[in-house]
C-alpha cells in the first residue's frame, strides 16, 4: 500500500451518529449556563467533542457482535474468563479483578497496598490516582524527569522516571515506606508522553534492590508501545504485542481504565501477579464493585473489553490513531500556535501560558481558553492546569503546576481528518485574536476534584 505521512482510516463507517449544529448565540448561552466549565456543557451543545478520549471510543462490529454473547450470570460469567484469558495472553499478568472503570481499580489497589504515612512515587500525578493514594494516607511524590514539565522540550521519552529523584526519595523516607511506584504509560498530564523500555527496565532494577513494587497505570499502554516501536531502535522490528508484553513483564501489577486503550465505553480492571495481594483485592471488590467475576460490569461489557484489547494491538489501528493526533498537532505548530511537544498519543495540548501570556495563572488562562474555543467553534476541550491540579490539602493553597494546558483529546476511531481541519482552523483563528480573551474568577469550588464541577465568571 502507498505510504502516506498521515495514514488514512484503517476502517470504514457502518453506522453514523448525526452531529447537531449550533449557533454562536446558543453556544454563548450554553457556556454561561455551564459556568464557563466545559465539563458542564451538554454533549448535544458540542460540535466536535474533544473533552476526553475516555469511554468515547467507537467500538467495532466485532465488539458489538460480542455484546450479543453477554453471559449475565451473577457469578462465573464466560465473558469474565474470556477477559481473564485475554489479559493474561496480551498483557501477561496472572490475576485479573474487573472494575467498573480505572478509578475502581485505583481505589482497590490503594486500599490493599498503602498504609497511612507511606509515600507513592509516580511519573507525574493523575487526578483520580493521586486522590485515592491521598485518601489512604499516602503522600504522592512526583519523580518524572524535569523535561516533562517543560512544554518545549522535545525529548522523545518525556514520561520517563528520573532515577535520581526515585533514589533520593528512597534515601529520604526508606523503602519500607514506599509500597510501590506508579508508572503511567503514557503520561496523560505531561501531554500523553511515553516512557521508554530502557527506563522501565532501569526502574525495575532499582526497585528490585529495595523491594519496591511497580504498579503500572496501563491506561494508554498501546500508545506507549507504539512510541517505543517508533523511537527506540532496539524495538523497531518488534510487534506491538511483543512490546506491551515486555513492558508489563517488568511490573507487579496494573490499574487499567479500559475506556481508553481497551477500546470500550466503560470498564477497567486491576491486574496483579502476587496471589496474596489478589486475595485481598477480591475481598474488597465485593464491597465496592461486585463479585470478583464481574466487578461492576455486565458480561457483555467484559466481552467487548476482551475483544477491544485484542484489536488494540493491531499495528495499523495504533499507527493511524497516533498519526491522526499528530496531523492536528503539526497543523497548529506550523501556524505558530504554542503546543506541548513532542505531540503525544491521545491529544494535542495547547500551552495556555504562552497562548495567553497576559492572563495570570490564578485567573485560569487554560479554562478561559477552553471556554472561548467552545464559543467560537463548538469544539469542546478540557482544562489541564491550575484548576485540575487542585489545592494542597495541608496549606489550602492552589498548586501552581508548571504546565497550564488545554487538552484537545481525540476519541478513538470517531472523527475524520476533516474534523481535525475544523479544529485546527478554529484554534488558529482564536490565536490570531488572543488579545481579546480575558481571565476568569472562580465562583463555586467543590472540595475534591474541583475541575469537574467548578463554576466561573469572566473578569472584565
Residues that bind ligand PLP (CB under 6 A): 54, 101-103, 126, 128-129, 184, 188, 217, 219, 257, 259, 268
Tell the smallest beta-carbon distance from residue 99 to ligand PLP (Å): 9
Distance CA 131, CA 256 (A): 16
Tell the smallest beta-carbon distance from residue 127 to ligand TYR (Å): 3
Nearer to ligand PLP (CB atom), residue 52 or residue 199? 52
Q: Among the residues of 145-234, which ranges form H helices?
A: 163-173, 197-210, 221-231
Decide the pairing of beta strands 95-99 and 268-272. Answer: antiparallel
- Pair 228, 196: CB distance under 8 Å: yes
Residue with cell 468515547: 56
Distance CA 281, CA 337 (A): 46
Distance CA 409, CA 119 (A): 31
Distance CA 94, CA 100 (A): 20
Distance CA 319, CA 230 (A): 10
Tell the smallest beta-carbon distance from residue 194 to ligand PLP (Å): 13
DSSP 3-state of 79: helix
- Pair 346, 193: CB distance under 8 Å: no
Nearest Cα neighbor of 153 from 198, 189, 193, 94 is 193
Nearer to ligand TYR (CB atom), residue 229 or residue 407? 407
In which region does residue 264 sit, left (phi positive, over 0), alpha (psi from -120 to 50) or beta (all else)? Answer: beta
Compute how many other C-beta atoms are within 10 angstroms of the C-beta atom of residue 127.
19
Binding partner selected for residue 268 from ligand PLP, ligand TYR, none, CB under the kind-specific 5 to 8 Å limit: ligand PLP
Binding partner selected for residue 196 from ligand PLP, ligand TYR, none, CB under the kind-specific 5 to 8 Å limit: none
Binding partner selected for residue 293 from ligand TYR, ligand PLP, none, CB under the kind-specific 5 to 8 Å limit: none
Nearer to ligand TYR (CB atom), residue 132 or residue 158? 132
Binding partner selected for residue 129 from ligand PLP, ligand TYR, none, CB under the kind-specific 5 to 8 Å limit: ligand PLP
Nearer to ligand TYR (CB atom), residue 151 or residue 409? 409
Nearer to ligand PLP (CB atom), residue 228 or residue 359? 228
Three-state SS letters, 4-49: CCCCCCCCCCCCCCCCCCCCHHHHHHHHHHCCCCHHHCCHHHCCEE
Packing angle, helices 275-288 and 102-113, rounded to 10: 120
Active site residues: 74, 126-127, 217, 260, 384, 451
Tell the smallest beta-carbon distance from residue 340 to ligand PLP (Å): 16
Tell the smallest beta-carbon distance from residue 54 to ligand TYR (Å): 4
Three cell numbers written together for 138: 499516602
Residue with cell 500525578: 125
Site for ligand TYR, rule CB under 6 A: 52, 54, 127-128, 188, 257, 388, 409
Angle at CA of residue 89, ends 258 and 202, nearest 5°: 80
Tell the smallest beta-carbon distance from residue 455 to ligand TYR (Å): 17
Helices and strands: H and E segment counts in the chain: 16, 14
Tell the smallest beta-carbon distance from residue 268 to ligand PLP (Å): 5
Nearer to ligand PLP (CB atom), residue 355 or residue 451? 451
Nearer to ligand PLP (CB atom), residue 190 or residue 424? 190
Tell the smallest beta-carbon distance from residue 395 to ligand PLP (Å): 26
Distance CA 53, CA 347 (A): 8
Amino acid at each position: 500500500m502507498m505510504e502516506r505521512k498521515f495514514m488514512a482510516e484503517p476502517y470504514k463507517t457502518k453506522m453514523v451518529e448525526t452531529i447537531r449544529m449550533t449557533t454562536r448565540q446558543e453556544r454563548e448561552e450554553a457556556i454561561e449556563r455551564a459556568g464557563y466549565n466545559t465539563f458542564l456543557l451538554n454533549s448535544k451543545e458540542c460540535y466536535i467533542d474533544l473533552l476526553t478520549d475516555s469511554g468515547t471510543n467507537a467500538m467495532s462490529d466485532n465488539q458489538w457482535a460480542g455484546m450479543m454473547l453477554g453471559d449475565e450470570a451473577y457469578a462465573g460469567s464466560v465473558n469474565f474468563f474470556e477477559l481473564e484469558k485475554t489479559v493474561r495472553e496480551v498483557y501477561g499478568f496472572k490475576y485479573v479483578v474487573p472494575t467498573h472503570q480505572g478509578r475502581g481499580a485505583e481505589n482497590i489497589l490503594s486500599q490493599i497496598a498503602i498504609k497511612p504515612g507511606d509515600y507513592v512515587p509516580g511519573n507525574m500525578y493523575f487526578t483520580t490516582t493521586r486522590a485515592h493514594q491521598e485518601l489512604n494516607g499516602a503522600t504522592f511524590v512526583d519523580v518524572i524527569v524535569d523535561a516533562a514539565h517543560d512544554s518545549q522540550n522535545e525529548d522523545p521519552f518525556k514520561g520517563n522516571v528520573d532515577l535520581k529523584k526515585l533514589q533520593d526519595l528512597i534515601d529520604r523516607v526508606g523503602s519500607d515506606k514506599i509500597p510501590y511506584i506508579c508508572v503511567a504509560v503514557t503520561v496523560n498530564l505531561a501531554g500523553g508522553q511515553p516512557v521508554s523500555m530502557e527506563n522501565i527496565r532501569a526502574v525495575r532494577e532499582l526497585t528490585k534492590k529495595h523491594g519496591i513494587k511497580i504498579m503500572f497505570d496501563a491506561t494508554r499502554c498501546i500508545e506507549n508501545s507504539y512510541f517505543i516501536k517508533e523511537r527506540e531502535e532496539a524495538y523497531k522490528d518488534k510487534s506491538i504485542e511483543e512490546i506491551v508484553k515486555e513492558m508489563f513483564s517488568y511490573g507487579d501489577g496494573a490499574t487499567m481504565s479500559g475506556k481508553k486503550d481497551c477500546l470500550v465505553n466503560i470498564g477497567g480492571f486491576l491486574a496483579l501477579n502476587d496471589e496474596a495481594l489478589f486475595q485481598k483485592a477480591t475481598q474488597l471488590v465485593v464491597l465496592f464493585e461486585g463479585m470478583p467475576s464481574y466487578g461492576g460490569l455486565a458480561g457483555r461489557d467484559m466481552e467487548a473489553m476482551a475483544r477491544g484489547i485484542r484489536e488494540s494491538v493491531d499495528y495499523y489501528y495504533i499507527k493511524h490513531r497516533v498519526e491522526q493526533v499528530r496531523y492536528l498537532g503539526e497543523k497548529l505548530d506550523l501556524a505558530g500556535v504554542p503546543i506541548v511537544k513532542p505531540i503525544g498519543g491521545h491529544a494535542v495540548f495547547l500551552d495556555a501560558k504562552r497562548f495567553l501570556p497576559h492572563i495570570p495563572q490564578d485567573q485560569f488562562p487554560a479554562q478561559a481558553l477552553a471556554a472561548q474555543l467552545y464559543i467560537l467553534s463548538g469544539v469542546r476541550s478540557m482544562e489541564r492546569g491550575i484548576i485540575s491540579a487542585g489545592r494542597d490539602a495541608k496549606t489550602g493553597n492552589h498548586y501552581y503546576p508548571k504546565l497550564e494546558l488545554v487538552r484537545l483529546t481525540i476519541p478513538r476511531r470517531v472523527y475524520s481528518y476533516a474534523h481535525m481541519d475544523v479544529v485546527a482552523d478554529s484554534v488558529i483563528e482564536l490565536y490570531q485574536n488572543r488579545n481579546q480573551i480575558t481571565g476568569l474568577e472562580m465562583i463555586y469550588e467543590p472540595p475534591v476534584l474541583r475541575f469537574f464541577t467548578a463554576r466561573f465568571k469572566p473578569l472584565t
